[in-house]
Amino acid sequence: MLKGLLHKVIRKAALDQGRFAQLYRKTNPPPQEYAEFLRRHGAYYAIGEGCYISPTANILDHEYIRVGNNVWIADCTIVGHDGTIGMINTAFGVKLDKVGKVDIRDNVAICHGAIILPGVTIGPNAIVGAGSVVTKDVPKNSIVSGVPAKPVGRLDMMVQMLKIQNKEFPWRNLIEARAGTYDPKIEAELRRMRVEYFYGKRDAAE
């Protein structure tokens, strides 16, 4: 009970006043709530509405990063400043800078393990595949993947393929009826139906 109360105090102080940011992050808040915390107190250039940002995402140089609406960021790395410039300045006796914006437009998903380097614009309407390294702009309506990331498909085509695929799912009525992208009222049944679809009915002896 004491732990739960402490969690509530930390959450309220973080969301309302921006206090206890590190402790709040360690409580593993839901991605939508964490995105709202960053929007209020994260010192980003801007964060839009309806975003989901994983609390395990490694996002540096917040001032140079703009996030649009409906952006989903998994546990990836986003960097606005190239730290190698310090070594270069010392090694060559120069005083240079190497920095760039990261402009994430509306309706973008950045998947697990991706690395976004300085000086890029992503989207709108784009997906960065898991493990990709983005070194240049990601075009509108594209899916990119690889090291370095390159276009591998179009988002509108993916949507059409998903519509066809989803017609076969026995749980499609639950998806169509649920509120938003996650509905705890139907989640248990949704998972049960998916597992049964993947593996068949579980043997009572198992």
Q: Which residues are catalytic?
A: 81
Q: Where are the beta strands (DSSP E) in 15-125?
A: 46-47, 52-53, 58-59, 65-67, 71-73, 77-78, 102-104, 108-110, 115-116, 120-122
Indicate the burial class of 159 (C-beta count within 10 angstroms; 0-12, 13-18, 19 or more): exposed
Name the 3-class secondary structure at 74: coil
CA distance 79 to 57: 11
Q: Are the C-beta atoms of residues 53 and 36 closer than 8 Å to each other? A: no
CA distance 196 to 183: 20
Burial 128-146 (b: 16+ CB within 10 A, else e): bbeebbbeeebeebbbbbe
Name the 3-class secondary structure at 55: coil
Which DSSP category does 63 fall into? G
